[in-house]
Amino acid sequence: GNSVTQMEGPVTLSEEAFLTINCTYTATGYPSLFWYVQYPGEGLQLLLKATKADDKGSNKGFEATYRKETTSFHLEKGSVQVSDSAVYFCALSDWEYGNKLVFGAGTILRVKS
Amino acid sequence: KAGVTQTPRYLIKTRGQQVTLSCSPISGHRSVSWYQQTPGQGLQFLFEYFSETQRNKGNFPGRFSGRQFSNSRSEMNVSTLELGDSALYLCASSPSGGGSGPTYNEQFFGPGTRLTVL
């Protein structure tokens, strides 16, 4: 079945450092890929998405490129801020299963000032 | 436009009881999905409803059930609660029920209902 693997955390960075959170997936079809963010005590917010190979999703300085050849969708940001501290989830959606999202385990990001 | 609302936000029950959680989607959205979030298992898909019909179901026992009403509001029910059912239950709404092709309708998540089973 479909699955998502993302790097374990927590990831602790200093403000203005470069961020990479790795995400790889396994899927039988042609999934869409997403990054969601969860702040303490809140639900999930869609951060960015990519619906086909080589698409680049971007939002609020975060970027991720859909790499079919390496089945990856790594999240990057050039300069993190304290306000970026949250849990980040990589996810995929396969059309055969409607709106079902398959999530990775989540990566806690802590940014120190 | 109001977001996805879930009620109640917090709930404490004891083993063996049953519980009903409610989700009101964004106006005009017809698809509602439910997820369970726990520290051990992460985010797991429970089921999705579209136009009052269950479209997909995850790997959960029959104690977990749901339904959707004609106004797209959804409820999920857990009977005979177990300690392991303690979790954050998240609801997500989407304009449509997915489908083929590259078009994707973003899912909007509610704040969740925190269920504690004692």
Other Cβ atoms closer than 10 A to B30: 17
Are B58 and A1 contacting, i.e. CB atoms less than 8 angstroms apart? Answer: no
At position B48, the amino acid (one-letter code) is E
* Chain B hits for A45, Cβ within 8 Å: 109
pLDDT in tens, B33-45: 999 999 989 999 9
Q: Note the pLDDT of residue B56.
A: 87
> How far, in Å, CA of B43 to CA of A34, rounded?
14
A107 touches chain B (CB under 8 A): no
* Residue B103 pLDDT grade (very low, low, confident, very high; cuts 50, 70, 90): low
Stretch B58-82: mean pLDDT, rounded?
96
Q: Note the pLDDT of residue A100.
A: 87
Q: Note the pLDDT of residue B97.
A: 59
> How far, in Å, CA of B53 to CA of B31, rounded?
10
Q: Is the pLDDT of residue B104 over 70?
A: no
Are A64 and A74 contacting, i.e. CB atoms less than 8 angstroms apart? Answer: yes
Q: Is the pLDDT of residue B101 over 70?
A: no
A53: Cβ–Cβ under 8 A, 6 or more apart, which residues? Answer: A66, A67, A68
- Taking CA atoms, B42 is separated from A27, A91, B24, B90, B101, in Å, by 19, 12, 23, 12, 28
Residue-wise pLDDT tens for chain A (113 aa)?
A: 889 999 888 999 999 999 999 999 999 878 899 999 999 888 999 999 998 899 999 999 999 999 999 999 999 999 999 999 999 999 998 766 678 899 999 999 999 99
Q: Is the pLDDT of residue B100 over 80?
A: no
B99 touches chain A (CB under 8 A): yes
Interface of A with B in 44-103 (CB under 8 A): 44-46, 49, 51-52, 89, 93, 95, 97-103
Are B25 and B80 contacting, i.e. CB atoms less than 8 angstroms apart? Answer: no
**Residue with the larger pLDDT of the pair B96 and A65:** A65
Q: Is the pLDDT of residue B19 over 90?
A: yes
B40 touches chain A (CB under 8 A): no
Are A4 and A103 contacting, i.e. CB atoms less than 8 angstroms apart? Answer: yes
Stretch B76-103: mean pLDDT, rounded?
84
> How far, in Å, CA of B24 to CA of B18, rounded?
20
| A93/B102 Cβ within 8 A | no
| A97/B56 Cβ within 8 A | yes
A104 touches chain B (CB under 8 A): yes
Are β-strands A23-26 and A86-93 bridged in parallel, bridged antiparallel, or unpaired? unpaired
B103 touches chain A (CB under 8 A): yes
